[in-house]
Amino acid sequence: MQYRRHYHQGASYFFTINLADRSSDLLIKEIETLRNAFKTVKQKHPFHIDAIVILPDHLHLLCTMPNDDAHYSKRIKLIKYYFSYRIAKTERISKSRQKKGERGIWQRRFWEHCIRDELDYRTHIDYIHMNPVKHGYVERVQDWQYSSFHKFVSEGLLPVNWSD
């Protein structure tokens, strides 16, 4: 049976996007390149980033699609493309990827989940913000700089000691 993606206009989605090399720190090392890739895609294909965390080898993103274009796979593909295009070719590239003219930076697939309700939304935001602690990068959420947690604090949505 073939899997089909379901696109819902105006819906919110949670994504996990991984590097092919899970021991890499490329996303942190090239954080400005990644930010620019997001910015470029958002200008061409708007979407709202509700929450995000960038870890060395993967990222979690909760975003809301516009009412007139719910094609999230195009956006993910373009973010990966613009990031990959702007960094040096130092990664190992498998023969199958070479044949297809692909880089070896990202895992081919990503994981997505359509947010069902307000509880699901809040649960995924909490998961995003707690992820650096879960992976042992920091002991406190506020100590990880590559997270939308800081925006939530500055907007008064969460206290700085939320996870303590």
Active-site residues, by number, are 146
Q: Where are the alpha helices (DSSP H) in the chain?
A: 26-29, 31-44, 72-85, 95-99, 118-134, 149-154
Do residues 112 and 14 touch, judged by C-beta distance below 8 A? yes
For 106, half-sphere exposure in the C-beta direction (CA atoms, 13 angstrom radius) is 21
Q: Which of 144, 78, 80 is nearest to 106 (CA)?
A: 80
Number of Cβ within a 10 Å radius of residue 82: 18
Q: Are strands 111-114 and 12-18 parallel, antiparallel or unpaired?
A: antiparallel
Q: Give the burial class of 135: count Cβ atoms within 10 A of its Cβ; 0-12 exposed, 13-18 middle, 19 or more buried.
A: middle
For 149, half-sphere exposure in the C-beta direction (CA atoms, 13 angstrom radius) is 25
